[in-house]
């Protein structure tokens, strides 16, 4: 069970863009309490139409930037998933999509460490992750999730996401190099897939937002001038690291 965007539910995701959940009707849904029993609800997020529009614009761009190409590639990779795709393959595709979006050509060493760090800095202080990690009840999100609260929780939330991503990458490496693990602690669960697919979606959202602000590529060729490259994702993360 995961708390995504402030909603408690058993998640059964087939896509990081839409999801289906089964909610206990006796729980609060933000508008009071419902009768006992189970209800299956399909949720279409408000941001979806804008995301589709943004991705479509990138798709028809005859001269896409490095970041646009990476975003489109990530969407294409996840498009390989369907209902018949085995769970561990779905999980692996999400990790591969994240790698393709965030890692530069020269970052082939310590892939898990690099990927975890970048995801942690990009998403670690976002409302989606903080609500998820601190299990903030839906009815408390608006009053709890203040700028002051986020500032106080930023460091620990980023560290937690970094650890989570390292754990996921360990499972990815275990499967890639040894097949399906007999060790239960290394097996890929449906919860693992649900969480990594959400992280993938949040990352796509964040990169689209950053692209609109002028970031159009990942790495700065001259590392000594990284702080001067306002259009580099790595420069953006470098600023976050020391801010």
Q: How high is the pLDDT of residue 11? A: 39
Lowest mean pLDDT among 3-12, 44-53, 74-83, 122-131: 3-12
To 10 degrees, the CA torsion angle through 140, 146, 150, 152? -100
Each residue's pLDDT tens digit, 43-52: 556 667 788 8
pLDDT of residue 112: 87
* Of the candidate ranges 84-93, 135-144, 214-223, the one whose mean pLDDT is the lowest: 214-223
Lowest mean pLDDT among 1-15, 117-131, 148-162: 1-15
Q: Mean pLDDT over residues 56-76, rounded? A: 92
Q: What mean pLDDT, rounded, does the chain reach?
A: 80
Instruction: Indicate the pLDDT class of residue 147, thresholds 50, 70 and 90.
Output: very high
- What share of the chain in percent tops pLDDT 70? 72
- The answer on pLDDT for 12 being more than 50 is no
pTM score above 0.85: no
pLDDT at 32: 40
Q: Check residues 192 and 4 and name the one with the higher pLDDT.
A: 192
What pLDDT score was predicted for residue 2? 39
Average pLDDT over residues 61-81: 91
Report pLDDT for 37.
52
- pLDDT grade for 177, boundaries at 50, 70 and 90: low
What's the pLDDT score for residue 41?
A: 55
pLDDT of 192 over the 80 cut: yes
114 forms bridges with which residues in the sheet?
A: none
Per the DSSP assignment, residues forming a β-bridge with 232 are 217
Which of 111, 113, 150, 115 is closest to 133 using CA atoms?
A: 150
Long-range contacts of 16-20 (CB under 8 A, 24+ apart): 16/78, 16/94, 16/197, 16/198, 16/200, 16/201, 16/204, 17/45, 17/48, 17/51, 17/201, 18/42, 18/43, 18/44, 18/45, 18/48, 19/43
Tell me the H-state helices in the chain. 48-60, 66-78, 87-102, 111-123, 127-133, 141-144, 147-178, 190-212, 233-242
Q: What is residue 181's predicted lDDT score, i.e. its pLDDT?
A: 56
Using the predicted structure, report yes or no on whether residue 218 has a pLDDT greater than 60. yes
pLDDT tens by residue, 107-132: 766 788 999 999 999 999 999 999 99
Burial class (CB in 10 A: 0-12, 13-18, 19+), 66: middle
């Amino acid at each position: 069970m995961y708390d995504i965007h402030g909603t408690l539910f058993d998640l059964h995701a087939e896509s990081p863009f839409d999801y289906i959940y089964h909610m206990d009707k006796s729980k609060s849904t933000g508008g009071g309490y419902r009768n006992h029993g189970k209800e299956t609800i399909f949720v279409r997020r408000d941001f979806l139409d804008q995301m589709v529009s943004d991705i479509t614009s990138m798709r028809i761009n005859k001269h896409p930037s490095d970041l646009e190409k990476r975003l489109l590639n990530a969407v294409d990779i996840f498009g390989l998933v369907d209902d018949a795709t085995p769970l561990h393959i779905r999980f692996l595709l999400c990790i591969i999509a994240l790698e393709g979006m965030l890692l530069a050509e020269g970052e082939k060493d310590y892939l898990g460490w690099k990927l975890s760090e970048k995801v942690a800095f990009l998403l670690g202080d976002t409302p989606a992750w903080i609500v998820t990690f601190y299990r903030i009840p839906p009815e408390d999100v608006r009053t709890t999730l203040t700028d002051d609260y986020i500032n106080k929780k930023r460091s620990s939330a980023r560290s937690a996401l970094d650890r989570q991503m390292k754990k996921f990458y360990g499972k990815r490496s275990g499967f890639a190099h040894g097949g399906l693990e007999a060790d239960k602690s290394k097996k890929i669960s449906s919860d693992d897939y649900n969480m990594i697919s959400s992280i993938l979606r949040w990352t796509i959202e964040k990169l689209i937002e950053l692209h609109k602000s002028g970031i159009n590529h990942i790495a700065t060729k001259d590392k000594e001038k990284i702080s001067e490259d306002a259009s580099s994702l790595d420069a953006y993360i470098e600023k976050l690291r020391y801010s």
